[in-house]
Amino acid sequence: MERRTWRLGVGCWLLAVGGYRLFRQMIKLLNIVVMLGGPSAEREVSLRSGAAVASALRSLGHEVVELDPRDENWVLPPDTDVVFLALHGTYGEDGTVQQELDELGVAYTGCDAEASRIAFDKVLTKQSCIEAGVPTAKFIMVNSPQTPLPKKWQLPLVVKPSRQGSSVGLQFVERVEDWQNALTEAFKFGPEVLVEEKIIGRETTLGILDGKVLPVVEVRPKSGSYDYKNKYTAGNTEYFCPADFDAATTKRIQDAALGAFKAVGGRDYARVDVMVRADGSPVVLEVNTLPGMTETSLLPKAAAAAGLSYADLCQCMIELALEREAVLV
């Protein structure tokens, strides 16, 4: 198989500024392993993400093997050039698989083990944001389902497992009597639970790609909150990209997202969820280091608004991993 022999000097953004044909001529075939599925609570979403990524990479001519690491006995093919991580949740997104791939000396997409570990832990993410001066919601961490409702906190509150993604275990406390059930449900998904003030405003998410912030996506569920069901059921949520904010507000939102990405030590790409208050002030919720890549996922929507097709977004992620590992010379 022919190795890539050119550097990504103009970056992935060549695609977004009219260099599509030239870029495609440069593409050389690679042996790519897409890791998908895995053992987490987000397994089904990961399978969908990975299948979509594998299809896109095959459409570009690459040789693609899909690998489901349901246990520790997985083995990479010996001719693997790069691993595309389409895993979500524990093991895939918490730094574990990243550390294992580092030990194998294999290039892989996305953030490194340490940034993944920090970003996957919502408390560590918030602490990193506070230290960096990035706005985030008031919060506490609790480690017992018998914890009483925090005194002097005003409702509504948000309760969620500290180390899960895709809104798994997300609960809202609108009334005092909701508190105990919210804790009980959240503790089903881990030993530590984050409690934070519920930010009233517009819900947005921002993709970060190759050090640049993609257009703002506004998320509007047709009913209820942006929970697991509304995230992954086609037609349940409306998306607006670029979101209808004035230029000054857009910049504040993008600056907050990029600040959070840098605060956790992110690299290559991620997605940052940001609430926007009525006065236009942003409040970072969390950083997703391996964002969803399904047909309803938000990073591909933002990339499309910036001029990158789904397949080209996947190719860009591969290029970033290879360039970082000095495979391209």
Q: Could you list the active site residues?
A: 42, 166, 232, 271, 273, 286, 288, 292
Residue ranges per structural domain of the chain: 12-110+308-324, 118-135+200-305, 139-197
CA-CA distance, 6 to 3, in Å (whole number)? 9
Looking at residue 28, what is its pLDDT? 76
Cβ neighbors of 116 (< 8 A, separation 6 or more) are 93, 94, 95, 98, 110, 289, 290
Look up residue 72 and give its two tokens.
């520790």
Tell which residue, 14, 18, 16, has the closest CA to residue 27: 14
Cβ contact 40:90 at 8 Å: yes
Looking at residue 221, what is its pLDDT? 78
Q: How confident is the model at residue 163 (pLDDT cuts 50, 70, 90)?
A: confident
Q: What's the chain's average pLDDT? A: 88
The residue among 230 and 70 whose pLDDT is bigger is: 70
Looking at residue 222, what is its pLDDT? 75
The predicted-structure confidence for 44-79, as pLDDT tens digits, reads as follows: 999 999 999 999 999 999 999 999 999 889 999 999
Architecture of the 139-197 domain: 2-Layer Sandwich (3.30)
Looking at residue 203, what is its pLDDT? 95
Q: Does domain 12-110+308-324 have CATH number 2.30.31.70?
A: no
Fold of 118-135+200-305: D-amino Acid Aminotransferase; Chain A, domain 1 (3.30.470)
Q: What is the mean pLDDT of residues 83-93?
A: 95
> Residue 259: what residue type?
G
Does the pLDDT at position 18 exceed 70?
no
With pLDDT > 90 as the criterion, what percentage of the chain qualifies? 74
